[in-house]
Amino acid sequence: MCGRTACSLGADNLRRACAYRDARGRHRQPDWVQPDTYRPSYNKGPQSRGPVLLSRRHLQHDADSSERVLMDMRWGLVPSWFKKDDPSKMPFSTSNCRSDTMLKKSSYKDPLIKGKRCVVLADGFYEWQQQQSGGKQPYFIYFPQSKDAMTELKEGDEEWRGWRLLTMAGIFDCWQPPAGGEILYTYTIITVDASKDVSFIHHRQVRTILDGDEAVSKWLDFAEVPTQEAVKLIQPTENIVFHPVSTFVNSIRNNSPECLTPIKLGAKKEVKVTPSSKVMLGWLKNSQEGSPQKKENDVPKWKSQFIHSPSPKKTSADILQQWLGKEGEPAAKKRKA
């Protein structure tokens, strides 16, 4: 089961990439709640912090429940009823929540029934395939990307042309030390049975992906969409692509674009970096705020990745083939049934 994600966008660009339309049809960007704690990363693991979307009404009781905010939460749910003074003393792992038990275990059932649903944001996530030799081969899994994802940004552009973020269904909770103190917001990611396309990598559970703004809206709007209706969204999806990456990502200490760099399986060396693969890696590097090649203030305001239909399944292979410079063999593959 997945234990790593990547989210390389800086805080301001992340907000722009999450633009949406509220219940009145107004174009909105979610406000950040304490954005100073957020740090982009190519290699996020449990217990680290990561960006999530949630309804504003969780923080402001008179707010429209369709309005969204961004928060940087700790990965690994700590139930509100946990009595120890240190959240790291949790006796079991809560970074992932199986869909078939989420309404049975109190750690997940209690916040879920109370509407504490969130959407976890990432460029994609990593899964490890067990090898016959005994080792494990990591893969990076993400949404199919449109041609705009590799188009150079120009002044005056309104549409978001960056990486389409993966939107994963999550549950969050609020914990406070028994002796009092600052409230800790934590989350878990819901997992489902692997679809046919990725079952050869991990045959059991993978992340629940919410594909498109309608699914995201229904999952977040707890005031309008009851739990019984929302859980129907927890289904496997086939609208994903993937490519193998180096075991460099195995160490949580490694945090650079090399974590995402595609490799050619069976080769002793990694695939040589080509001009087209540099386009992808260059975008990833420049997506972080403070980059000397692109200042955040130079980036225009966007329309959202969410305000469009789900990407066609067969577009990304050709795009990634251009990015990665692999003639005759797409770097991002799907396993044929």
Active site residues: 2, 127
Q: Are strands 117-122 and 49-55 parallel, antiparallel or unpaired?
A: antiparallel
Eight-class DSSP state of 267 = -
The two tokens of residue 16 are 């722009």
H or E stretch covering 101: none
The answer to whether 162 and 288 are in contact (CB under 8 A) is no
Looking from the CA of 232 toward its CB, the CA atoms found within 13 Å total 5
SS3 69: strand
Termini Cα distance of the chain: 22
Residues in the chain: 337
Phi, psi (rounded to 5 degrees) for 214: -65, -45
Q: Are strands 31-33 and 68-75 parallel, antiparallel or unpaired?
A: parallel
Phi, psi (rounded to 5 degrees) for 167: -115, 110
Q: Measuring CA to CA, which residue among 190, 142, 156 is closest to residue 8?
A: 142
Count of Cβ atoms closer than 10 Å to residue 23 Cβ: 12
* DSSP assignment of 138-163: EEEEE----GGGGSPP-TT--B--SP
> Alpha carbon of 103 to those of 87, 94, 99, 118, 231: distances in Å?
22, 14, 8, 16, 10
Count of Cβ atoms closer than 10 Å to residue 2 Cβ: 18
Tokens 């429940």 appear where? 65
Which amino acid is residue 244, in one-letter code? P
